[in-house]
Each structure stands twice: as C-alpha cells, then as structure tokens.
Amino acid sequence: MAYLRLPKDVRPAPLIFAISGLDTRKEDMVVTNDLFLKNGIGIFAIDQPGTGQSPLKIDVGSERIFSAALDFLQTRTDVDAKRIVVRGQSWAGYWAAIMGYTEKDRIRGTVVHGVGIHGYFSPEWQSKGLSTEEYLFDLLPARSAVYGVSTREAFLAYGPRMSLLTQGFLDKPSAPMLLINGLKDTQQPIDDLFLLMSRGDPKDVWMNPAGGHMGRSPKWSAPEITQKVVFPWVQRKLQP
C-alpha cells in the first residue's frame, strides 16, 4: 500500500517518490512534503521494508518493492513517469541510494538524506551507535525488527551483507544523487557519505559540519534543509 497526492491542475504531474525511515511511515511522508505539492510536484509515499504495511523485511533485494511501485506509476496517465525523483530520509537513505543504481534509467535523481550504506552495517559501528542519544526510542528493538531478528547477536550478524560496497554497487553508473548528512551524526557514520561521494559518478553533497543526524543543527532545522537544500535540487531535476 502507498499514498499518492497530486497537485491541482498539473497533469501529468512530476513526483517526489518519498520513502519512510526507521521510525516514520508513509503517512508521515505524505503530509510532511506539502512544499512539493504547493509547487506542482506530486507526492508518492511508501513504507520502507520492515516498517508499516510493507510486505517485506529488510534484506538484499528488498528494493524490488520500489521497482514494482515504479512499474505501477508508469501505468497512470495522471503521473509523468519520466519525471520522478526519489527521496529517502534517515534509514531510507539506503534505499534512495540503491535506487540511484538499480533505477537510474527511470528516475531523474535521488536524494540520499541520511547516508548509511557500508560502515553503518558493521558490528563495530552498530555496537557503538546503539548508545546514541540522538534516537529517542529503544534503538536495538527498532533496528532488529526491520530485519526480523530478535537478539543482539543475530542483529549484528545480519547487517554486513546489506553493504552497497559489498554488493558491488558503488562503482556502477547512477542517476544524479544529492547526499545530505551532518558531520556529527551518531546514528549513521559520516564516512559512508564520503565513501559514496568518492566512488562512481559525480554527486552533489550538502554536509553540515555542525549537524547531527540528517544534517540537523540549531541553525539548520529539518524544514529548513528541505526548503533550502532538498527542494531546489529536486525542482531543477524535474524540469521538463
């Protein structure tokens, strides 16, 4: 299940393809992206694997659910399937990155807003990251649930195979990417941003030196990053 909102009097409408994160759902995505809707860009919101109503847990190949969603969007006459930009926030930045490779010929670009693609999955990082004070809930149960495992040992052993480096993606051609995060992120290692930007095709990067997770800081709130960084980039990529 997913949600689709289209702007008034724009047909066929370009889209922002919004993927929920670890503790957000498609219901959040479809109501927090009004800036796009007000500017003639539709919103397609979908749960990432392991959350909400997604039929899949997180595993290698689970991105196929997003490919199926793109297949569906291409059947609609009210959607401009040639003008779609993907945005993944927090954990979903992983899916946004992988779609940049797997769906490079069907999307205009992808916003990797929160970058966990390799080091994030290591037992060393997870053992350290589970103690972060940036996350307000009990992090181990949340991260374990999306994999479908129940113990710390199983959780730490599960993640490494998800690495985009291990899977051989990083040197492949990709759609345009905008990478966003904060240097002081304690939930996802900033080294993953540097790794992603240094391999494969050139990418655009916005990194807040004072920012935590997703680049947020006292001077850069989440809405400001969306308005001043994400939206202009998406708007440029969706030009006819």
Tens digit of pLDDT for each residue in 25-58?
Answer: 999 999 888 999 999 999 999 999 999 999 999 9
In a domain, 149, yes or no: no
In a domain, 144, yes or no: no
In a domain, 137, yes or no: no
In a domain, 159, yes or no: no
Residue 135 pLDDT greater than 90, yes or no? no
**Token pair listed for 69:** 């969603």
Round to whole Å and give the CA distance between 206 and 87. 14
What's the mean pLDDT in 86-113? 98
Query: What is the predicted pLDDT for the residue at 131?
Result: 83
Query: What is the predicted pLDDT for the residue at 133?
Result: 80
In a domain, 61, yes or no: yes
CATH number of domain containing 50:
3.40.50.1820
Where does the pLDDT of residue 139 fall: very low under 50, low under 70, confident under 90, or very high at 90 and above? confident
Query: What is the predicted pLDDT for the residue at 75?
Result: 97
Per-chain mean pLDDT for the chain: 96
In a domain, 100, yes or no: yes
Residue 130 pLDDT greater than 90, yes or no? no
Query: What is the predicted pLDDT for the residue at 169?
Result: 98
In a domain, 80, yes or no: yes
For residues 42, 48, 52 and 55, what is the CA-based torsion angle, rounded to 10 degrees?
Answer: 110
Q: What is the pLDDT of residues 156-202, one digit of tens each?
A: 999 999 999 999 999 999 999 999 999 999 999 999 999 999 999 99
Q: How far is CA 88 from the centre of its chain?
A: 2
* Residue pointed to by tokens 């030196």: 209
Query: What is the predicted pLDDT for the residue at 59?
Result: 97
In a domain, 164, yes or no: no
Query: What is the predicted pLDDT for the residue at 234?
Result: 98
Residue 136 pLDDT greater than 80, yes or no? no
Residue 132 pLDDT greater than 90, yes or no? no
| 135 three-class SS | coil
pTM for the full predicted model: 0.96
Query: What is the predicted pLDDT for the residue at 42?
Result: 98
Residues 176/103, Cβ–Cβ less than 8 Å: no
**How many domains, in total, are found in the chain?**
1
* Residue pointed to by tokens 């724009």: 10
The domain of 96 spans: 2-119+169-237
Residues 115/90, Cβ–Cβ less than 8 Å: no
Query: What is the predicted pLDDT for the residue at 229?
Result: 98
